[in-house]
Structure 1
Amino acid sequence: MASNLLPECLEKIFTNLLNPSNPIFSNSVETCEIKDLYSCTLVSRYWCRISTPILYSHPFNYFHHLKGGKKSQTEKDFQDYYKLIRTLLTCIPHSEIEEIVNSVYEKGSSIEPIESVVSPTFNYVKFIHELLFDDKFFLNHGKDIWTPSYIPIKDIPDTDTYKLYDSLINHLVKYLIENCNNLTRLEILRNKLQVDLMKSLVKDRLSGLRKLSLKGTGKERYENDEMSLIQLYTTLSTTTLNLEILHNGEIISLEHANALSSLISAQKKLKLITLSDSLRASVTNIQLSGWYNVVFNSLSTQKGWLERLELVYLSFEGIDEKTLNSLCSLKHLKELRLEMCKFLRVSLLQNWAESLSNLKVLEYKAFSPSYHSSDFEFLTLILKSSSNTLNKLVLDYNRIIDQGFTLVKDILIYSQNLTHLELPHIYPPELRNIFKSCTDLVYFSFILAYHGGWEPDFRHMGKLVPNSVEMIQFKDTQLLEIKSESLVNFLEDCVNNGGKLKILEITGKCKVPKFYFDAVTHSKVQLIKLE
């Protein structure tokens, strides 16, 4: 019966099975569940022919949760990722692969295939709509994982492995860029790339691009790299007019800033813009602030629809009136992320802070303690301006002595409608007041202040927790100063009065003995410990 369904019907069914988790305006990781869709490829040839293009339309998204080099990721996750790389390598004509292997192996000699070359069932590259070339894409995890099966890996010396991998992976990048159809997303880590993007990108395939991310080196900057970027952005300004998400990783020169500004101005409806640079540049490059003023001036062209703005390692020291007016024009901005930015001062940015009356999400990470006082004054002004709309607040700074005490008090005054709150170190009186004031909280994450005097007060705080709270996280916990009996009493009081608390998560290096887990078994709240 299933085989009698029209291809169009099956395509719709299989597309729904892809079930992407796509949190475009949050910190969550974009992932896709594909187990059910993969099973469909095994049902019959008919189903395989229809489901495979959908399965391979966004193959890198399935592994977007993996971070290159992190020990917490399982070996199997990386093996599956490199199986994907190996599968895509099989789509490249084997003569090209052999030519690369022989050129790396040894001059004047060659490696003969150990088995006949079998072409893949499909050219999977033709199905791909999104390319993500991040850190893990360029990692060498062993020639036995990614080398095509027809290459005798035992004959390849270990000393040549890294050179071979760099050559093969960059050739794969070139092949993918030149052969994918209907590209909608392109994410590239430029410092690993040895491919000239302008020579590989086909202009008529860029018109459908919706997401673009070019992250820079953060280190050396060369003239040819600058010219390539300027040429790329100039080309995109005429061929790609429907970007929704743009992430620019660094600015190299004033000419580069102008090219990026033109690209932003050419777009019809940008919804998310991320402008980031490096710590090194933010400290040493005195021209950087002026270059970003050029880019900020172009943001006003997106004032009707820009919803999220992310600024990382930028400085507002040299902001001028024209740039400030451009920022103030972003009346529809709903989410703002400020990470490691300098000179967030009311004296420079008061008008912008007062204009953020529709903000729903504010995320902040401090540059250094020396900026805390002026930063907090600026943040307080934003909290005051967005008091009727803000529902998510994320603050990350190293709290020294009483720094941040006033800011926490201002949260209680201006941000009582929060449903999501993340804070650094807080003390028992502050926690008590937050529970009393922020009565709509659903998610609350904070650090238990070390030597904060949590006993015996904590055991009685459960009665103050709003019934709306579903998850509490004690993050970066080095030493748990709460007794198991107090924890149980807290959790039981949370749920006994109709509370919705489901999860208490503890992260950090602290050890949580088994008897803590045993003690909370009957509290109806799940206790989770993560490193």
Structure 2
Amino acid sequence: MANKISTELLIMILNNVRSQDLHSSSLVNRNWCKVAIPILWELPLGQEWSKSDETLRKKALCIRTYLSCMDIQARTFLTQFGFDLSSSPPQVTFDYPSFTRKLIISNLLYFISIYSPQIISQKIIDSDQDNYNDINNKNESSKLFREICKLIINRCSFLNYFKLASVPINLSRNFDNYYDLFGSILKLPCAQKAFEKLETFASVTLNDEPVTKLISVQKRLENLSINASHHLDCDSLPWAIISQKGTLKSLRLKSMSFNYFKGKPSAIGQFISLQKLYIENCHGLCLSLASSFTQLNSFHYFHSSNLFDMYPQEFVIKILETANTNLKNICLEFYPTITFNTLSAILNYSESVPGSLETIEIRMGSFSADSLRKFFERWCCKGRGGNKKFILKRTELAQLFTLSDEHFKVIEEYGVQFDMEE
């Protein structure tokens, strides 16, 4: 029966099974093995593993396989720096690195931290270089990391998923500068070819230059997530993001600053495909951006906790006013440091609310019953809000705010579903 399934159908089937089932599938026969192995080897460095997973040490054995795939020059280089590669002979059935399509840097770091102490020689390679005695030395971890990255990037046809995420301090301290690793990867000879077909890119960065360069060259980027870790005041990174306005479907920005961004609506143009926009702790949001997201179906805005950051109510209002018929979900978070009636201003001054809007979620903040009524008038007809939902979430930091009888009267009058969550 297994031999009667066409290769095309088999690929479709195995692309939808779990990794442990893929391993079993690779043992069925030669044809199944040829199909299963490439799919299986997309997973080790591109899947979100649970760090409490008991099988994590088994996953780290992929490092042994990557070492076996290295050429003589790379193996000699690692041997000279104290690595014992006797457990990774240069004999492999498949070119495993060539199957890589997804790369999460933190996965590679985790696996190296688990596996490398087993292969670093205890003897001193050079009596003048005593640091090679320390199996946890950051130079050794960095060398192994870079050689595996070179192997993958040189062998793979392209990557469609790349994530540079934060890692625990006990891992990042093994490197001279963890965030510089990203820049060093992009400088590899085959990096441009490997990274130019990304569909998803997520990065935590302290330096916008390599991130900007990588984003700018993309042709099919659909999902982009940038966490600046601290507020980057730069003009180049926003423009790199804007350069992807034709393909982006999901955009997540955290801790970015637009204070130095000098964009004009005519130059920005429309994000013709963007469906999800998530903004958290960003500064200086520009009104010229708000009118660009006309295909949004989900908008989340989480305000900064900084006392001096003014809430960009004009930006939020503009999102509502320029939204097309696709906008279905809005989530707005207000910190207790906002003392003015910002939410009422948003509810009052948005000239129109898209009828497609299904859910609006407010986290903290206060608003008058009259403001709520005005919002509902532009949102739905009286008594016909059954498919609409208004959610009020209050956290521990929320200011004391209680809905009055008048609030509930308005909600009942328009028939909107209402939920209050702590």
Normalising by structure 1, we get a TM-score of: 0.56
Deviation at 1:52, TM superposition (A): 1.3
In structure 2, the residue matched to 1:211 is 199
* Aligned-partner residue type, residue 395 of structure 1: L
**1:117 shift after superposition:** 3.8
User: Which residue of 337, 354, 358 maps to 1:400?
Assistant: 337
1:84 aligns with 2:46: no
Do 2:291 and 2:318's aligned partners in 1 also have CA atoms closer than 8 Å?
yes
Correspondence for 1:34 among 19, 26, 48? 19
Q: Quick one: structure 1 residues 74 and 392, their matched pair in 2 at CA, closer, same or farther if it must change by over 3 Å?
A: same
Write the deviation string for residues 447-489 of structure 1: whole angstroms up to 9, x where unpaired. 346585889x9xx99x9798989xx895xx6xxxxxxxxxxxx
- Structure 1 position 124 matched with structure 2 position 96: yes
Taking the TM superposition and a 5 Å limit, the aligned residue runs for 1:401-480 are: 402-403=339-340, 404-406=342-344, 409=347, 414=353, 417-425=356-364, 439-440=386-387, 446-448=393-395, 452=400, 474=421
Counterparts in 2 of 1:445 and 1:93: CA distance versus 1, 3 Å? farther
User: 1:173 aligns to what?
Assistant: 149
Give unmatched runs, 5+ long, in structure 1: 19-32, 67-72, 106-110, 230-247, 283-287, 478-531
- Deviation of 1:88 (Å): 2.9
Aligned to 2:278: 337
Q: 1:390 to 1:53 in 2, by over 3 A?
A: same
After superposition, what is the alpha-carbon deviation per residue over 1:144-168, rounded to whole angstroms, capped at 9, x for unaligned? Answer: x31497x477779883224322221
**Residues 335 and 361 of structure 1 are in contact (CA less than 8 Å); yes or no, is this contact kept in structure 2?**
yes
Task: Supply the distance in 1 between the matched residues of 2:297 and 2:276 (Cα, whole angstroms).
Answer: 6
Report the alpha carbon displacement of residue 173 of structure 1 after superposing the two structures with TM.
0.7
| Inter-CA distance 407–389: structure 2 relative to 1 (3 Å threshold) | farther
Relative distance call for 1:364 and 1:49 in structure 2 (3 A) is: same
Structure 1 residues 446 and 377, CA gap change in structure 2 (3 angstroms):
same
CA–CA distance in structure 1, aligned partners of residues 272 and 363 of structure 2: 30
Change in CA separation of 1:40 and 1:384 when aligned onto 2, cut-off 3 Å:
same
Partner of 1:146: 115
Following TM superposition, by how much is the alpha carbon of 1:399 offset from its aligned partner in structure 2, in angstroms? 2.6
Instruction: Sort the Cα spacing of 1:344 and 1:428 in 2 relative to 1 into closer, same or farther, 3 A.
Output: closer
- Counterpart of 1:57? 42
Deviations 1:367-398 (A, max 9, x none): 3343334x023212322332743212132342
Shift of 1:422: 4.2
- What SS class does the counterpart of residue 61 from structure 1 fall into? coil
Amino acid at match of 1:447: R
Size of the aligned set, in residue pairs, is 383
Cα distance in structure 2, aligned partners of 1:318 and 1:96? 44
Contact between 1:293 and 1:323, CA under 8 Å: does it hold in 2?
no
1:440–1:468: 8 Å Cα contact kept in structure 2? yes
User: Which residue in 2 is equivalent to 1:10?
Assistant: 10
Q: Closer, same or farther in 2 for the Cα pair 1:444/1:41, shift >3 Å?
A: farther
Matching residue of 1:372: 310
Q: Equivalent residue of 2:28, what SS? A: coil
- RMSD value over aligned CA atoms? 4.8
Report the Cα offset of residue 53 of structure 1: 1.5
- Specify the code of the residue in structure 2 equivalent to 1:5: I
- Select which of 165, 181, 194 maps to 1:192: 181
8 Å contact kept, 1:131–1:187: yes
Q: Normalized per residue, which structure has more helix?
A: 1
Please tell me whether the aligned partners of residues 356 and 386 of structure 1 are also in contact (alpha carbons under 8 angstroms). yes
Whole-Å separation in 1 of the counterparts to 2:186 and 2:399: 54
Residue identity (%): 19
1:179 shift after superposition: 1.3
Q: Find runs of 4+ consecutive structure 1 residues off by over 6 angstroms.
A: 152-158, 427-430, 463-469
TM-score, normalisation: structure 2: 0.68
Structure 2 letter corresponding to 1:137 = L
Q: Which residue is 1:281 aligned to?
A: 232
Q: Give the direction of change, closer, same or farther, for the CA distance of 1:418–1:424 in structure 2 (3 Å limit).
A: same
Contact 1:331 1:356 in 2 (8 A): yes
SS at match of 1:160: coil
Retained in 2: the 8 A contact 1:417–1:440?
Answer: no
CA contact (8 A) 1:309 1:333 kept: yes
Give the match for residue 382 of structure 1. Answer: 319
Confirm or deny: 8 A CA contact 1:393 1:422 kept in the other structure: yes
> How far does the alpha carbon of each residue in 1:114-171 deviate from its partner, in whole angstroms, 9 at most, with x for none?
x6848344332122223332x34324775xx31497x477779883224322221221
In structure 1, what residue type is equivalent to 2:78? Answer: I
- CA–CA distance in 2 between the matches of 1:397 and 1:440? 25
The match for 1:234 is none
The alpha-carbon distance between structure 1 residues 369 and 136, as it changes in their structure 2 partners (threshold 3 A), is: farther
Q: Any idea what SS the aligned residue of 1:362 has? A: strand
Q: Which string of whole-angstrom CA distances, capped at 9 and with x for unpartnered residues, describes residues 192-218 of structure 1? A: 358464443176x54972336484751
Answer yes or no: is the 8 Å Cα contact 1:86–1:147 preserved in 2: no
Give the Cα–Cα distance (whole angstroms) in 2 for the partners of residues 159 and 191 of structure 1: 23
Q: List alignment gaps of at least 5 residues for structure 2.
A: 125-131, 166-178
CA contact (8 A) 2:67 2:85 kept: no
**1:2 is matched by which residue type in structure 2?**
A
Q: 1:392 to 1:85 in 2, by over 3 A?
A: farther
